[in-house]
Structure 1
Amino acid sequence: MPSLTTLLRAALPLLSLAAAPFAAAADAYPSKPIRMVVPFAAGSGTDAVARITAKELGDALKANVVVDNRPGANGAIAAEIVAQAAPDGYTLFMTTNTTHSANPSLMKKLPYDPIRDFTPVARMGNLPFMLVVNPKLPVKTVADLIAYARTHPGMSYASGNSTGIVSGATLGRMAGLDLLHVPYKSTPPAMTDVIAGQVPMMFVDVAAGIANVKAGKLRALAVTTAQRSRLLPELPPLADTPELKGFDITSWNGVFAPAKAPAEVVERLNRELSRIAASKEVAPRFEALGFEAFGQSPKQFSGFVAGELVKWTKLVKDAGIQPE
């Protein structure tokens, strides 16, 4: 009777052959185009970052990475599409705190779970937001705006995403203002109406709004972060205004895959995305958009997302926003 050692030696080649197709499949990734779903319309800050990222990622993987804009329902439409996609690494989701931090508190019924239904792949950076007004509005500072809004109760503000919604409501609560929220499907049409004077103000990500600020079509008053942004050092934080002490809202950006995505694929994607975020060649293009790029490991990103969900739950509650 053969010994156990002899049997194991005979079986090893067979085990290697059985594992070969799986190893080959991992090595072959990607073997077809990759879809990068974006929850906001073309022209939004996230869309602009996604298009640079998709091109760089495609070059690195020697594959075609296609940006698929699916705006609507505050990002929930796109999130549901990704959550239901095959977890094979061929559907990615470039999104923000809107879908994964704020929506659980802003929406009564969410067709996805921000933690359970996704695999964190890589955090890509932050999208600083700024408070902008129509240039014809007779205000030059946040203090001016607060004073003006107090004499014009019911003054409206536009929003194209959750950061805009929560920032506007937080401004109103902290300064004791009577503000009217005007929601839009995405940032571009909201910004168009502020430029046209249909709505006097909004909170917009620097990536989407900076060109119009530089062109004089919008006037920027402040950033929403607690500290000045290195991208717009001339703009003070809203927290510098006495009534808004402690105001600190940051919009983040990252890439997810559907839940249970293959670990080796996630690791490879993270490696390439982190390299893109840290690339000295790509950095000027991100900065020109108003995007602060940096990378995180899947584990770090996972912990960050969990923490941000708690943070934004409190932000929404403190702002007095009721889920819809």
Structure 2
Amino acid sequence: MATRILMPCNAALQKTNRRHTMQHSKFTSPLRRTLCASFAVFALGSLVAPATHAQSYPNKAIKFVVPFSAGSATDNVGRIIAQAMSDAWGQPITIENKAGANGILGAEAVKAAPADGYTFLVTTSTTQAANVHLYRKLPYDPVKDFTPIGKIGEVGFILMVNNDFPAKDMKEFVSYAKAHPGKLAYGHGSSGSLVSAAMLTELAGLQTVGVPYKSIPPALTDLLGGQIQFAFADTGNAVSQMNGGRMRGLGVTTKKRAGKAPNVPPIGDTVKDYNVSAWFGLMAPAGMPADVQKKATATLMAVLAKPEVREKIQGVGIDLDVEDSATLAKTIDSEIKKWGGWVKSAGITPE
């Protein structure tokens, strides 16, 4: 490369020599030095550009794509992480909510973005694991099309009903649902909420009707208005509704009670073998330079170690479960297999 870059310098000197033979010693020598110096600087700049890029990254605004609507658990955790990483980097980070198709629209947008470290996906088990089993033709590969940055935490879901619903606990809910086959409609806005409801229906022997939403918050709005009879909401949204006295939580999908909702028992106490949880992480397009990935992961790990950031994340109902990029890559492989089992157990047919 260096030889090719310097060739124009020699060619220019030959042309100059032909035109200015009489001034060779006084004119050509300075010109030669100037041209060669210019090309040398260019060559040197080309050689050190990658290192300079790594050292200066990031040097402009960054975008976090959230594949679910504002107010969702993914949005809540994405905004907390965006603010913390923005403070650490000294660069603004904007949030783009690209909801729809169970997170597929947002994932596709990040897949197609430049792998330069300025576009990230606030990802979930929905986009990186469950969708593999929920769709026959997924327009992206959750492993090959993305670069893992790190895992943030996990969350369970709470079965929510409005205050007019007759059942007061899970045992009464199952009895009521069995007495009214096909009459109870549930809203789902993510794979977690869908699998939670479908698995309950399957394991408890119920007949229910699923209604899709772009995210959990719109489903809760219709639940409050009586358009649907129940919904599984992430712990943060569920606790917010319960504290406001607008809805009641009958059971949590995890094996243990949620720290934010200690009075809500596990559904598994009533329905044998029941257990569902979801997770959140940060991804980037495939092909991101290794040094940029390393810097992004290091920054994420650093902000997740800060007490004030951890407190905010726990405040929206998410249990911290931090993993670096290498560990997250392994987790995604195992999660794809796990969600395959859950989808099968729930009796869900891929679209």
Q: Same fold (TM over 0.5)?
A: yes
Q: What is the 5 A alignment of 1:120-139?
A: 120-139=148-167
1:263 has 2:290 as partner: yes
Once the two structures are overlaid, the 10-residue window that deviates more, 272-281 or 160-169, is 272-281
Instruction: Measure the CA separation in 1 of the matches of 2:44 and 2:236.
Output: 50
Q: Matches of 2:52 and 2:61 in 1, distance apart?
A: 18
The one of 182, 186, 207 aligned to 1:178: 207
CA-to-aligned-CA distance 1:16-57 (integer Å, 9 cap, x gap): 876422111101101111110000011111111111111111
2:310 aligned with 1:273, yes or no?
no
How far apart, CA to CA, are the structure 1 residues paired with 2:231 and 2:45? 61
TM superposition shift of 1:140: 1.4
Preserved CA contact (<8 Å) 1:273 1:295? no
Q: Write the letter of the residue equivalent to 2:49.
A: P
Number of positions where the alignment pairs a residue of Structure 1 with one of Structure 2: 310
Structure 2 CA distance, aligned partners of 1:163 and 1:283?
23
Q: Decide which moves more: 264-273 or 155-164.
A: 264-273
Q: Does 1:202 align with 2:248?
A: no
Q: In structure 1, give the amino acid aligned to 2:93.
A: V
Q: Distance in 1 between matches of 2:56 and 2:161?
A: 51
Q: Any gaps of 5 or more consecutive residues in structure 1?
A: 1-13
**Please, which of 154, 178, 193 is the counterpart of residue 222 of structure 2?**
193
CA deviations over 1:160-183 (Å, ceiling 9, x no partner): 111111111100010000011111
Q: Which string of whole-angstrom CA distances, capped at 9 and with x for unpartnered residues, describes residues 79-138 of structure 1?
A: 111111111111100011111111111112211011110111010101221111111101
Q: Which amino acid aligns with 1:37?
A: V
Q: In structure 2, how many angstroms separate the alpha carbons of the residues matched to 1:19 and 1:298?
A: 28
What fraction of aligned residue pairs are identical, expressed as a percent? 40
Q: Equivalent residues in 2 for 1:111-126 (5 A)?
A: 111-126=139-154
Cα drift, residue 277 of structure 1: 2.2
Q: Is the 8 A contact 2:239 2:260 kept in 1?
A: no
1:316 maps onto 2:316 in alignment: no
Normalization by structure 2: what TM-score? 0.85
User: Which consecutive aligned stretches of 4+ in structure 1 deviate over 3 angstroms post-superposition?
Assistant: 14-19
Task: Report if aligned partners of 1:35, 1:67 keep a CA contact under 8 Å in 2.
Answer: yes
How far, CA to CA, are the matches of 1:240 and 1:199 in structure 2? 25
Counterpart of 1:71 (choices 93, 96, 99) is 99
Larger radius of gyration: 2
Question: 2:131 corresponds to which residue?
Answer: 103
CA distance in 2, matches of 1:224, 1:107: 23
TM-superposed CA distance for 1:15, in Å, is 10
Deviation at 1:260, TM superposition (A): 1.6
The equivalent of 2:54 in structure 1 is 26
Aligned to 2:307, what secondary structure does the other structure show?
coil
Mark the CA change 1:17 to 1:86 in structure 2 (over 3 Å): closer, same or farther.
Answer: closer
State the Cα distance separating 1:207 from its structure 2 match.
2.0
Q: TM-score, with normalisation over the residues of structure 1?
A: 0.92
- In structure 1, how many angstroms separate the alpha carbons of the residues matched to 2:208 and 2:233? 17
- 2:289 paired with 1:250: no
Aligned partner of 1:48 among 64, 73, 76: 76
Q: What is the match of residue 7 of structure 1?
A: none
Q: 1 CA distance for matches of 2:300 and 2:321? A: 9
Q: Using the TM superposition, name which of 198-207 and 286-295 deviates more.
A: 286-295
Distance in 1 separating the partners of 2:126 and 2:49: 40
Q: Deviations over 1:284-313 (max 9, x none)?
A: 222221111232111100000110000101
Q: Compute the displacement of 1:193 (Å).
A: 0.5
Cα RMSD for the two superposed structures = 1.7
Secondary structure at the counterpart of residue 195 of structure 2: helix
Tell me which residue corresponds to 1:237.
266
What is the distance in 2 between the residues matched to 1:230 and 1:188? 21
Select which of 166, 173, 193 maps to 1:164. 193
User: Aligned partners of 1:95 and 1:304: how far apart in 2?
Assistant: 13
1:281, 1:323 → 2: CA distance?
Answer: 41
Q: Pick from 229, 243, 250: which aligns with 1:221?
A: 250
Q: Map 1:73-88 to 2 at 5 A.
A: 73-88=101-116
Look up the match of 1:151. Answer: 179
Aligned equivalent of 2:327, options 293, 296, 300: 300
